[in-house]
Amino acid sequence: MDENGARERKESLNGSTGPSMDSPAKDKQAVKAAVLQKDVGLLSGIGFIVGSMIGSGIFISPKAVLLYSGAVGPCLLTWAACGVISTMGALCYAELGTMITKSGADYSYLMEAFGPILAYLYSWTTVIVLRPSAFAIITLSFAEYASTPFYPGCTPPLIITKCLAAAAICVVVSVNCFSARLARYVQNFFTAAKLLIIFIITGAGIVLLAQGNTENFSNAFSDTPPSFGAIGLAFYNGLWAFDGWNQLNFITEEVKDPYRNLPLAIIIGIPLVSVCYVMVNIAYFTVMTSTEVLVSPAVAVTFGDKVFYPLSWIVPLFVVFSTIGTANGSCFSGARLTYVSGREGHMVKILSYISPKYCTPLPALILNGVLAMFYLIPADINTLINYFSFAQWMFYGLTTLGLIVMRFTRKELHRPVKVPVVIAGLMVLVSGYLVLAPIIDKPEVEYIYCAVFMFSGFLLYYPFVHRKVEWARKLMRPITIYLQLLMEVVPPEKTE
């Protein structure tokens, strides 16, 4: 009843003065507008994947991967292996995305495979911590690179970088709130910029190799192999740079012809990024020793200073473009997860509402931005995301396990893409290793805190989702109506 009233009030706010002869047509148009539009084609899908994956990681992470892998050879092998792992995972998600054509990625797949409890824990952990904290980290990277030229010879003040990051969050969220099409154009533009700087660095590396700069590749493998846990940490940092390979699955409902375009975008986008990453790391080692890479605050910038001077400023400029593009992709896909969780009743209903004027999940976008602002406050949110990374890979493993389970329990589902079950099995094993290795190698109490937070979601699930206590519904009803009127949003059209 409150939803209908809010819709009528929304129509009056948009200029409706009363009933008219063509009111049925207007009503039909309004209902049609209250859904996310299928506007993402193949090119935009590739741009979304590539743009979400290539962020600040390839310009910063090489240092951490080298530190934990121990030498140039293992470092390059780690990057190549990360590409293979990401490709295997993406192929599994291609089958899942064409089998279950709902937005939300892991959330929707866990719901179908294992039921609502596991799906709820995923949405609770991801919506509240993983997505907004990652959004905050990306915008902080943007702020650091954007402010550094104004503070030559010293580190920019922390208050400056955090304020600039907060401004970036506001701009990105605003763009996504007011136009999904503009957000896609922004994503495509910054993806092109990222690929341009990648090709420039790779081209310079090929030229330097041809000139004989190969001394850093001699004795590429040290005598002391990395430890069991160090390998896991090297993969963590490498896969952080590859993170985003499943981003298109979060917006499946907005993809044109997902049976064709989703797997094609994955097959084209992820191998492209994998090749680029390996070539960029080879380029770094043509002019920088292992020691120089480890002491560099930003490997790509140091490379630019050595190779492109006096035009070395182009590298930090394009890194700024890269990070803001990744922030845009993270905001776009993260809000869709929140939207689907609200639609399924695992978050408050207002988060599933859509602006019929802009065709965007405006409440979900605003929540993502507010939480990201909150995560800018701590001194070191990188520590937070490191400790929660094990949770991310735990859910990746459970999702691919769900793919195997549904081969037996949901045989009736149409599978336009069907990957060999051995690939899904390998992804489950790799995910298990990435979850357990760092914890076994270096157990810390922070992992317990993360686990406690994850399972604390049950305290909210039982009364508010499973039991649906009446007093909570009565409390939320006037709040929902007020927020509907404030943001001019309506419930989404029900889809089968």
Distance CA 476, CA 350 (A): 9
Nearest residue to 211 (alpha-carbon basis) of 115, 339, 307: 307
pTM for this structure?
Answer: 0.83
Distance CA 456, CA 468 (A): 18
Paired residues of 194 in beta bridges: none
Distance CA 456, CA 246 (A): 26
Q: What is the pLDDT along the chain (496 residues), one digit of tens a residue?
A: 444 544 444 444 444 444 444 444 444 444 444 677 787 888 888 988 988 888 777 877 688 888 888 888 888 999 999 999 999 999 999 999 999 988 889 999 999 999 999 999 999 999 998 889 888 888 888 888 888 778 877 778 888 989 999 999 999 999 999 988 899 899 889 989 888 989 999 999 999 988 888 887 877 776 667 776 778 778 878 887 888 888 889 888 888 888 889 999 998 999 999 999 999 999 999 988 888 888 877 788 888 888 888 887 888 888 888 889 989 998 998 999 999 999 988 999 999 999 888 889 999 999 999 999 998 887 565 566 666 677 888 899 999 999 999 999 988 888 898 899 999 999 999 888 888 877 787 777 778 888 888 888 888 888 888 888 888 888 888 999 999 999 889 888 765 4
Q: Cβ distance 96 to 110 under 8 Å?
A: no
Q: What is the dihedral of CA 463, 466, 470, 473, to 10 degrees?
A: 90
DSSP state at residue 410: -
Residue at token pair 């084209």: 268
Distance CA 399, CA 341 (A): 16
Residue at token pair 């609770």: 124
Distance CA 151, CA 289 (A): 27
Q: Cβ distance 280 to 65 under 8 Å?
A: no
Distance CA 42, CA 47 (A): 9
In order of 378, 405, 427, 489, the CA distances from 410 in angstroms are 44, 8, 20, 36
Enter the tokens of residue 373.
């602002």
Output the DSSP codes for 78-108: HHHHHHHHHHHHHHHHHHHHHHS--TTTHHH
3-state secondary structure of 355: strand
